[in-house]
Amino acid sequence: MDSGERQLFEASLRQAVERGGLFDAVLNDVGWRDAVAEDPTVAASVFALQGELNLTSAALDDVVAVGLGVVPSAALAVALPAPGAAVPPAAGDGRTVAVSGLGTSRMLIAAEVFVVVQRDRMKALRVTADELDRRRISGLDSPGSWVEVSGSVEAVDVSDVDWDGGIAAARRAIAQELSAASRAMLRLARDHALVREQFGKPIGAFQAVRHRLADCLLAVESADATIAVAWADPSPFAATMAKAVAGRSAATVARNAQQVLAGIGFTAEHPFHRYLKRTMVLDQLFGTSASLTEAIGSDVLRSGKVPAVLPL
């Protein structure tokens, strides 16, 4: 897509969301799967909107499928690593392998599930969805967004798969959603600081509040700069950096925005908590910011080499 087509795509997506309806249905209507299969960077638009408006969808299945080298389909769910993990949801060299992972809401309605198995080389198989136990998770995030998937399946017809490509695709998309959600939290706090008055003036006039908000923007802009690199450079390293920085930035923004929003931001009726919870969940997917940071540092210390800098 060129930038004109991209703008058109984003505008039609936003209009459709504003008309109402499930985000998955909207994505279907705009031909999202064909678009991302042709140009993976289209995911930037979808995950930015998803993060900004606190939407949920099964778009992550499609992104990971494309990254793994598989044609995405509404009938194909992808078994994702369990929360906190960045390893495939299945392992083992035997004829049967144990699956334990996570799915989006698509896991409940898909006909087929794509499972990556950790072996000497990464392998993949497709199983009928009925062969797996699938349970909605009642966790932190909005109900119905995530599904726990487990079971034992026959490892027949395994094929090679680009696991690193799948992980990188997921990290880029999740980083984008994290940053958009962070910007939304900042907007909530900033707008609140302009209207909430204490001591006869808006709290946004106080330097203590202003500097917290400035730190939020600093965090979001740091994330966006690394994410922009990751969309332009398909390397796993760029995607890992983007996810690590975006996860850390989201925590910074959440902490400061929460404090600025104070009491009202602690209520269930205020939208802030939905963003906070969503970013906490996203940080758990495909490697937490803490674990990625440690892995990046370990690689550097093991090799004794600072990775080559981004060239001008």
Partner 1 sequence: MELAEFRAGLDRWLDDNEAALRPDPDKSATLDGQMAHTNTVKRLAFDAGWMRYGWPARVGGLGGSPLLRGYLGEALAARRLIEPGPYSLTEVLAPTMIDYAPAQLAAEMVPQLLRGEETWCQGFSEPGTGSNLGALTCRATRTENGWRINGQKVWTSYAQYADRCVLLSRTGTVESAHNGITALFVDMDSPGITVRPLQTMHDVAEFCEVFFDDVAVPADRLLGAEGQGWAVAMDILPFERSTALWHRGAYLHRRLQDLLDAAPDGSLSPRDVGAVLEQMYAFRARSRQTQYRLDAGERLGPETSIDKLMLGIAEQSLYDLVPAALGPAVVSAGDREGRAWRAEYLYSRAATIYGGSSEIQRNIVARRLLDLGPDR
Nearer to partner 1, 98 or 206 (CB): 206
* Nearest approach, Cβ of residue 209 and partner 1 (Å): 8
68: buried, middle or exposed (CB in 10 Å: 19+, 13-18, 0-12)? buried
Number of Cβ within a 10 Å radius of residue 296: 15
Name which of 98 and 295 has its Cβ closer to partner 1. 295
Q: Closest CB to partner 1 among 268 and 312? A: 312
Largest CA distance in the chain: 72
User: The tokens of 269 are what?
Assistant: 């009726």
Question: Judged by CB, which is closer to partner 1: 14, or 187?
Answer: 187
CA distances, 267 to each of 142, 204, 260, 273 (Å): 16, 21, 14, 8
Q: Rounded to the nearest whole angstrom, what is the least distance from the CB of residue 127 to partner 1 in the complex?
A: 36
Choice between 3 and 207, CB closer to partner 1: 207
CB of 258 to partner 1, least distance (A): 17
Binding site for partner 1 (CB under 8 A): 190, 193-194, 202, 204-207, 210-211, 213-215, 217-218, 221-223, 225-226, 228-229, 241, 244-245, 248, 290, 292-298, 300-301, 304-307, 309-310, 312
Smallest separation (angstroms) from partner 1 to the CB of 53: 21
**CA geometry: angle 45, 50, 52, nearest 5 deg:** 95
**Phi, psi (deg, nearest 5) at residue 218:** -55, -45
3-state secondary structure of 133: strand
Min separation Cβ 41 and partner 1, Å: 16
